[in-house]
């Protein structure tokens, strides 16, 4: 049985905050940056300099997310120059982080107590169905690291291949009324961890090779594989039209349904999260059918997902 263990790690929160205030990749969020700066103030020249050094480290092709996730896990840094920069960043940026931590920690503690006391009916049911779909049998305790977050309306969470028992959950400012949305988000990220252990994802790769690759629709960052797998997971959990949401929120209306149906690629070609949601919306009923029937992912399912992406991308031309 999969179980959740909720924890709060100050060092992990420091690492998350630092990378979030550096515009080092496509995932950078200006609103999050502005929220933290609103608490701690703008960076001085010394702080800007160390952030620039960290940006160069994060943008090394061999580093990127792996490097920052190693910091989340408090792994040692083998490169002496990188080690020195990271240690220096702790000293230079600590005062700003302490201002943020003093404000956010009490809210994170409240959420920890709330989540530990919340029971979700038939949670194991979802885990069994999702594991069956991916052909995986996990019996793990997953650590949920509760983390800083600027939003009050939508949970944010992150996983990384190679860190199979860790989910980072941005939660400090979330409205306490949306506990079920948080659970839905955790199931979304748990589905990723299950998918990482599966060989069923090869079906998605094969479908991509046969259906999209010959069309030469290039996709660099994020990759085609990220978009395709994320749409599958999104149809399972994490949106109010997903399979899990339909079970947890049986009477909840689907927001922006018309927009999801009539997705305009040209106007939204750089909004990858919106693309993923719209594609997932179009095959959500197939996902529900597979999970309800305890069917494993197969060629038909994978082809349907990839053909849906191809149909959307054709709207570009």
Q: Where are the domains of the chain?
A: 3-158, 199-314
The whole-chain average pLDDT of the chain stands at 92
* Exposure letters 144-174 (e unless 16+ CB within 10 A, then b): bbbbbbbbeeebbbbbbeebeebbbbbbbbb
Number of H helices, E strands in the chain: 15, 4
How far apart, in whole angstroms, are the C-alpha atoms of residue 80 and residue 78? 6
Q: In this predicted model, which residue has the larger pLDDT, 250 or 14?
A: 14
Q: 43-52, 112-121, 138-147, 284-293: which has the minimum mean pLDDT?
A: 112-121
User: Is pLDDT of 119 > 70?
Assistant: no
- pTM: predicted TM-score of the whole model, two decimal places: 0.91
Whether the CB-CB separation of 85 and 57 falls below 8 Å is answered with: yes
**Residue 222: is the preceding peptide bond cis (ω within 30°)?**
yes
Three-class SS state of 201: helix
Distance between first and last Cα of the chain: 48
User: Is pLDDT of 253 > 80?
Assistant: no
């Amino acid at each position: 049985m999969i179980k959740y263990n909720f924890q709060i790690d100050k060092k992990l929160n420091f690492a998350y905050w630092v990378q979030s205030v550096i515009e080092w990749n496509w995932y950078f969020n200006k609103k999050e940056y502005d929220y933290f700066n609103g608490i701690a103030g703008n960076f001085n020249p010394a702080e800007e300099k160390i952030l620039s050094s960290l940006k160069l480290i994060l943008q090394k092709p061999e580093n990127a997310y792996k490097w920052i996730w190693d910091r989340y896990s408090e792994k040692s840094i083998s490169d002496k120059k990188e080690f020195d920069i990271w240690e220096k960043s702790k000293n230079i940026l600590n005062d700003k982080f302490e201002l943020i931590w003093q404000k956010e920690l009490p809210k994170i503690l409240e959420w920890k107590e709330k989540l530990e006391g919340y029971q979700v009916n038939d949670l194991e049911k979802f885990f069994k169905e999702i594991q069956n779909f991916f052909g995986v049998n996990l019996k793990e305790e997953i650590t949920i690291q509760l983390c800083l977050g600027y939003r009050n309306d939508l949970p944010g969470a992150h996983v990384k291949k190679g860190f199979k028992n860790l989910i980072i959950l941005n939660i400090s400012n979330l409205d306490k009324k949306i506990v079920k949305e948080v659970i839905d988000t955790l199931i979304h990220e748990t589905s990723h961890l299950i998918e990482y252990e599966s060989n069923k994802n090869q079906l998605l790769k094969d479908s991509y090779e046969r259906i999209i690759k010959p069309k030469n629709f290039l996709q660099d960052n994020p990759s085609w594989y990220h978009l395709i797998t994320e749409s599958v997971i999104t149809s399972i959990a994490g949106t109010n039209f997903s399979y899990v949401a339909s079970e947890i929120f049986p009477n909840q209306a689907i927001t922006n349904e018309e927009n999801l149906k009539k997705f305009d690629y040209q106007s939204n070609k750089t909004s990858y999260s919106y693309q993923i949601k719209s594609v997932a919306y179009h095959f959500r009923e197939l996902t529900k059918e597979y999970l309800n029937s305890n069917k494993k992912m197969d060629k038909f399912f994978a082809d349907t997902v990839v053909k849906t992406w191809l149909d959307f991308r054709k709207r570009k031309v």
